[in-house]
Amino acid sequence: MTHHEITPKFHPEITPSVEELEAQERHLVFSRFTFEDAWALGSLLVEMALERQAPLAIDIHRAGQQLFHAALPGSTPDNDAWIARKRRVVERYGSASYLVGARFRAKGTTFEESSRLDPDTYAAHGGSFPVNVEGVGVVGAVTVSGLPQLADHRFVVEALEEFLRKA
């Protein structure tokens, strides 16, 4: 697979619906999420990004603590700022940053126009996905930054699907 084929099952020009995005969240649920799980998932994300030469910064947080971070070639400090802004959206809304933005767009507005939140602190752009533990709820977020927002979202979803398939 070349680095241009971020997620093979999606056509790059087709934007997923709110319903499709919500289905991803219902499907991608952990039975637990330990320090070791964060390391293994982060390592998988790094491996996938290196294979594709994707210029990503990768971050995993749980309960306010950073459990994993990596900055790959081509990423910049700006990617870390985007990670923090996207992660805050997941923490506040309990949903993927891309889904939050899609919900605002579906109402004919934008997150920036209608959320009343500071855009320097929150960004409803793709790339941050909730760590949802069965029977517990959202305990953290897995976030990447460096690709266009839908590609960032799809990259995280693909990694979560592979990780959870093996779990």
Domains contained in the chain, CATH given: 18-166 (3.30.450.150)
* Per-residue confidence band for 12, with pLDDT thresholds at 50, 70 and 90: low
**Crossing angle for the helix pair 35-52 and 149-166, to the nearest 10 degrees:** 130
In the Cβ-directed half-sphere of 157, how many Cα atoms lie within 13 Å?
Answer: 27
Between CA 110 and CA 105 the distance in angstroms is 5
Residue 137 Rama label (left phi>0; alpha psi -120 to 50; beta)? left
pTM for this prediction: 0.91
Mean pLDDT of the chain: 93
